[in-house]
Amino acid sequence: MDSSRPHALPDWSAVPSNSDDDRRLMNQRLAYFGAVTCIISGSFFVVVNSVSLLFGASLLESVQKPPNVLHLVATLLFGLEWLLCRRGRRSSKQLNLIDVGTTFGALVTFAAAFIIGGQGFEAALILTLITLSGLIMRAVVVPGTARRTLWVSTVCCAPALVATYVIASHAQQTMSGMPWTTVASTVYVGTWLAATVALSTLASRIIYGLSQRVRAATELGQYTLEEKIGEGGMGAVYRARHALLRRPTAVKLLPPELAGERSIQRFEREVQLTSGLTHPNTIAIYDYGRTPDGVFYYAMEYLEGITLEDLVVHDGPQPPARVVHLIKQLCGALAEAHGVHLIHRDVKPANIVLCVRGGLADYVKVLDFGLVKEVATASPKLSAAQTVMGTPAYLAPEALTRPDEIDSRADLYAVGAVAYELLTGKPVFDGATVLEVCAKILHDAPVSPSERKGSPVPPALETLVLACLSKDPSARPQSAVEISNALDRHGELWTALDATRWWELRAPAILAAVKTGAVRADPVSERRTVGIDFMKRHWAAAE
């Protein structure tokens, strides 16, 4: 035998890895296990001593009995485990010591209590039941590999086996004619303890395996998904955490059935261009990639705020000065994108988030630059040549008649539609069906914001909004910069003090309503991104 060859040692690690996530989870689970076992053990302690009172013993005499003292010590050990793990961060070695030390120590204490109590073979059976319950519960609650659970359970069963041998040996001395008592009792209890080890190991294997599968499903490269914050036909958005960086992140998942290989390649180029945008009102894209099972994802900055759609739903029409303030920021983001030949294609209130950034209130962030068309046209159900992509209430007329020829002025039409809705609290056109909305976009003139709102809107602002909504692209402002310059001539200002007051007084209630899902229904989906196939008179939700 080669003595120089290292021997394989059991994996005593308390956590699968030394990462912060694993240690945090282990802390939480050990605290939970300690608290529950302390409560259960303490309850039995109270019951045992209460029964003693019924038989005339005083409480002090009952508590001072050595078995009861040891029972109390075992209970306090579990309580200590809870205290040590309920707060703070501990290393893997410390967690390992707490886990094995408290469990083994408590079972040794229980074993000593039953040996001293001298209750005969029934005591060994009760001790076995305690050991079985505790170790199986530990296997279910405390994360660990099957191999580690096997070793820990084996070691922690030893006190019960030794106690059974001692108790049975004492019983043999008082039970003449039964020389097999010690061996038979020990074998019987040993069989139950072996079953305990097997069951706890199996439970750990199943539960740990499932947790690893869940972990694999929620890990995308360096990102771990935490909570779903949105969902649409084009995929779901999750709040996520980067493995190394502490900044909050939003990750959007695009299912493989909605994106073909060629469109993914175009989308990757689009993301690369979009990630180069540096305007402060444009959402930042951090990363993108594809999982082994074909799910495409991209990571962007996480925003805690209110979409302009929710703003109108919960706060109604906005003051003209505030509308100017918000639209100017939107135009700034679009101006940079248009300058590098990126068309948003889905400018709408739901894609514009209002938040507080760097202490500045009423800060606009524009989402989903150039993503919708490139990805959605890859769907096998929608033909790029026959399908119009966008949100009906904000589609320019040329996007319906010549979708392959649209330019940045289609985004400017949508800017006018967003401004119109902010001023009036209603979309430019609505209808019972999507096709009815599209027909009005093509043929009807929009009602003036003043008439739609029922109160006056500054004439210069109203004229600008209606110009953006012109059927003819050449009759609109020709750039986002032109719109922004025109807005500069609006006399009334929305100040930083106005914004701060609104966020202090109105924002908390709206944020709470948004979190609880208290938003109005959208019966005809005129505000959702859809694909419309006019050749087949078919529309399908895309986002």
Catalytic residues: 346
Query: Cα–Cα distance between 469 and 464 in angstroms, integer?
Result: 9
Q: In this structure, are residues 164 and 112 in contact, taking their beta carbons and an 8 Å threshold?
A: no
Query: Cα–Cα distance between 37 and 336 in angstroms, integer?
Result: 61
The radius of gyration of the chain from alpha carbons, rounded to an integer in Å, stands at 34
From the list 133, 130, 38, 42, the residue with the least C-alpha distance to 86 is 38
> In the β-sheet with 530-533, what is the strand arrangement from edge to edge?
387-390, 530-533, 538-541
Take residue 32 and report the two structure tokens written for it.
């939970």
Phi and psi torsions of 358, nearest 5°: 60, 30
Q: Which residues contact 155 (CB under 8 A, 6 or more apart)?
A: 100, 104
Query: Cα–Cα distance between 229 and 249 in angstroms, integer?
Result: 11
From the list 327, 348, 330, the residue with the least C-alpha distance to 280 is 330
Tell me which amino acid residue 16 is.
P
Tell me which amino acid residue 273 is.
L
Work out the angle at residue 160's Cα, subtended by the Cα atoms of residues 158 and 163, and round it to the nearest 5 degrees: 105
CB-count exposure of residue 445 (10 Å: 0-12, 13-18, 19+) = exposed
